[in-house]
Amino acid sequence: MRRGSVLHLVRPAPTFVPSYVAALQRGWSPDNTRATAAAEELAELRENEASFLAGMEDREAKGPPVKMPDGSFVPRLPGIRRWLWDGEFAGSIGFRWQPGSTALPPYCLGHIGYAVVPWKAGRGYATEALRLILPEAKALKMPFVEITTDPSNIASQRVIEHNGGVLHEEFTTPVQHGTTRALRYRIFL
C-alpha cells in the first residue's frame, strides 16, 4: 500500500452507501463475471437499502439464492461482505464458507473474492483487504481458505501469494462459470 493510504474493511452501513452507489454508477461492479451485477445491486439498494445492507452479513445463509454467471440460481452459503474504505469506497471483499467444512459446492469457486475499483488499482488495496479478512476465516477454525483466479490475472495471483497463498491446482470451472481454465490457491491459516 502507498504511504499515506489507510485502508479499512468496513461493514456495509448507511453512512457508506452514497460512496458505494457512486462507484456502481461509475461502472465498477462487485462481480466481474456478471455484466448485470452493478445494475442489480443499484436496484436492490433503491428498493430496500436496509435489507440490502443486512444481506452483507448472512452467517446463516438465510438470503435468497445466488445468481450465477450463466443465469442459473444456486443455494446461498453463509458469508460476509466487507467494503474497502480509505475515506471513500475503494472495493469489496467477501468470505463464504460451509459450516464445519473447508469443502465448497462445485459452483462456488473459492472462499474469498475481491474487487477493487479501477481508479484505486495499484495501491496494494486488494493485498491489504485479503490480509484483513483472513482473521474472519481463522475465527471459524478454518485450517485454510481457497481463492481462485484466472491464469492470466497476474495481479490477483500476486495478491494471493503476498498473503501466503500457494498454488493448489489448475482446473476447469463448472458450467455455471463457463468451463474455463482457472487456478486454485490455498492460504493456510
In a domain, 156, yes or no: no
* 185 within some domain: no
Which tens digits make up the pLDDT trace of 148-167?
Answer: 999 999 999 999 999 999 99
For cell 455484466, the residue is 35
pLDDT of 74 strictly over 70:
yes
Domain total in the chain: 1
Indicate whether 98 pLDDT > 90.
Answer: yes
Q: Look at residues 31, 76, 78 and name the one whose alpha carbon lies nearest to residue 58.
A: 78
Beta strands in the chain, from DSSP E residues, in sequence order:
8-10, 57-58, 66-67, 73-74, 79-85, 89-96, 112-116, 144-149, 166-172, 181-188
Task: Tell the residue number behind the cell numbers 463457463, with chain if given.
Answer: 178
Q: How confident is the model at residue 104 (pLDDT cuts 50, 70, 90)?
A: very high
Domain span at residue 109 reads: 8-141
Contact call for residues 181 and 169 (beta carbons, < 8 A):
no
* Residue 1 belongs to some domain of the structure: no
Is the confidence at residue 189, as pLDDT, over 90?
yes
Whole-angstrom Cα distance, residue 145 to residue 154?
19
- Decide which of 107 and 185 is more confident: 185
CATH, residue 123: 3.40.630
Question: Where is mean pLDDT largest: 29-38, 119-128, 174-183?
Answer: 119-128
Let me know if residue 176 belongs to a domain: no
Give the pLDDT mean for 66-90: 94
Residue 183 lies in a domain: no
Instruction: Give the CA distances from residue 16 to residues 47, 77, 86, in Å, rounded to whole numbers and listed in that order.
Output: 17, 25, 11
**Using one digit for the tens of pLDDT, what is the confidence trace for 48-72?**
999 999 999 999 999 999 888 888 8
The helix-helix angle for 37-47 and 17-25 (nearest 10°) equals 140
Residue 155 lies in a domain: no
Percentage of residues in the chain with pLDDT exceeding 90?
84
CB 20 within 8 A of CB 52: no
The predicted pLDDT at position 174 comes to: 87
Its pTM stands at 0.93
Strands 79-85, 89-96: pairing kind: antiparallel
Instruction: Find residue 183's DSSP bridge partners.
Output: 149, 170
Confidence of residue 43 (pLDDT cuts 50, 70, 90): very high
What backbone torsions phi and psi does residue 144 show, to the nearest 5 degrees? -160, 165
Residue 178, SS3? coil
Identify whether 107 is part of a domain: yes
* Residue 19 belongs to some domain of the structure: yes
Q: Within the chain, what is the greatest distance between any pair of CA atoms?
A: 43
